[in-house]
Amino acid sequence: MQIELHNVHKTYEGAQPLHVLKGVNLSIEKGEFVSIMGASGSGKSTLLNILGILDNYDEGEYFVDGQLIKNLSERSAARYRNKMLGFVFQSFNLISFKTAVENVELPLFYQGVGRKRRHDMAMEYLERLGLKEWAGHYPNEMSGGQKQRVAIARALITHPQIILADEPTGALDSKTSVEVMELLGQLNREEKVTIIVVTHESGVANCTNRIIHIKDGVIGNIEENSRHNASAFGTTTVMK
């Protein structure tokens, strides 16, 4: 088991404490392609942030490759994020004053990779995603789909074992959404990367092999979807 959660709780403190995750139990194996679905405010992003060690949880246990991820030092959390995990977000989260290639290089910069090598690697990944001509462009000169592909290139460049994507198609039209999901699926098949996609679009979820439903802060039913026929809207299109 690559990812295991036992009874994970998360409460947002505040004027009115909000108990978002109320005992999540979940296991995901290496090389899986899964989606997490649920209503808005059900805690999908909260769960994904915990999986990505971007946020901490209050109770329970979270294991990655059998290693307990709890109360990590900033240094080791940063190392996990840098070496093990790749992130793709709904709002792309590219740095606006950096060009596409500079954005893709950034994780390698923090790994201490030399200037030339990281540039070459970034170019190679951009090329693989068909963005070679866009390398020198700034994010505001690119379309949503292109930005998301840059973000995917940035997530891939460190050869992560797990890619976490929070509504990666949320800001894209249906055609581009299909392309992005096909890209993720291809990565999963060819590179055996574990991919976890949070979405509330059933068509997007249908592209994945397993659909995990989250409701009222706990895991609801889990659909096996290896035949990609779960969508209520059909099996061939990604409906918005």
Partner 1 sequence: MRLDIDTYKEIADSLLRNKRRSLLTGFGVFWGLFMLLFLIGGGAGLKDLLSKTFSGFATNSMIVVEGQTTKPYKGLKEGRWWDIDYRDVERLKMMVPELDVVCPMISTWGSSVVYGAQTSSAGIKGVEASYKEVETVNLKYGRYINEVDVAQERKVCVIGKRIYNELFPEGGDPCGKYIEVGAVQLRIVGVDFNSGMMSINGQASQSLVMPITLAAKLYHRGSKVDLLCLTGKKGVKMSSLEPRLRSVMGRQHLFDPTDKPAMMVLNTEQIFSIVDNLFRGLNFLIWLVGLGTLLAGAIGVSNIMMVTVKERTVEIGIRRAIGALPQEILMQIILESVSLTIIAGSFGIVFATFMLRALELIAKSTFQIGFWTAVAAMLLLAVLGVVAGLAPALRAMHVKPVDAMRDE
Ligand X SMILES: Nc1ncnc2c1ncn2[C@@H]1O[C@H](COP(=O)(O)OP(=O)(O)OP(=O)(O)O)[C@@H](O)[C@H]1O
Three-class DSSP category at 34: strand
195 DSSP assignment: E
CB 49 within 8 A of CB 55: yes
Q: Which does 74 bind (CB under 5 to 8 A by kind): ligand X, Mg ion, partner 1, none?
A: partner 1
Q: Is there binding between residue 231 and Mg ion (CB under 5 A)?
A: no
Q: Which does 42 bind (CB under 5 to 8 A by kind): ligand X, partner 1, Mg ion, none?
A: ligand X
CA distance 108 to 14: 37
Q: Which does 12 bind (CB under 5 to 8 A by kind): Mg ion, ligand X, partner 1, none?
A: ligand X
Strand partners for 35: 197, 211
How far is residue 201 from each of residues 59, 95, 184, measured CA to CA in Å? Answer: 30, 27, 16
Residues 199-238 that bind ligand X (CB under 6 A): 200
Q: Which does 66 bind (CB under 5 to 8 A by kind): Mg ion, ligand X, partner 1, none?
A: none
**Which residue among 35, 42, 45, 169 contacts Mg ion (CB under 5 A)?**
45
CA distance 105 to 87: 14
Q: Is there binding between residue 35 and Mg ion (CB under 5 A)?
A: no
**Which residue among 2, 9, 12, 119 contacts ligand X (CB under 6 A)?**
12
Q: Which is nearer to partner 1, 97 or 233 (CB)?
A: 97
Radius of gyration of the chain (CA): 18
Site pattern 13..52 for ligand X (x: CB under 6 A) = -x---x-x-----------------x-xxxxxxx------
Which chain residues interact with partner 1 by CB under 8 A? 45, 49, 52, 54-55, 74-75, 78-79, 81-83, 87, 89, 91, 93-98, 106-107, 109-112, 114-115, 154, 158, 166
Size of the site for ligand X (CB under 6 A): 13
User: Residue 116 phi/psi, 5° resolution?
Assistant: -70, -45
Q: Which is nearer to ligand X, 98 or 200 (CB)?
A: 200
User: Which residue from 195, 198, 89, 65 is spatially nearest to 139, judged by alpha carbons?
Assistant: 89
CB 9 within 8 A of CB 19: yes
Which of these ranges, 43-51, 56-64, 139-147, 171-179, lies near Mg ion under the rule CB under 5 A? 43-51
User: Residue 166 phi/psi, 5° resolution?
Assistant: -100, 105
Three-class DSSP category at 197: strand
Size of the site for Mg ion (CB under 5 A): 1
> In this chain, which residue has its C-beta nearest to Mg ion?
45
CA distance 137 to 122: 14
Binding site residues, ligand X, CB under 6 A: 12, 14, 18, 20, 38, 40-46, 200
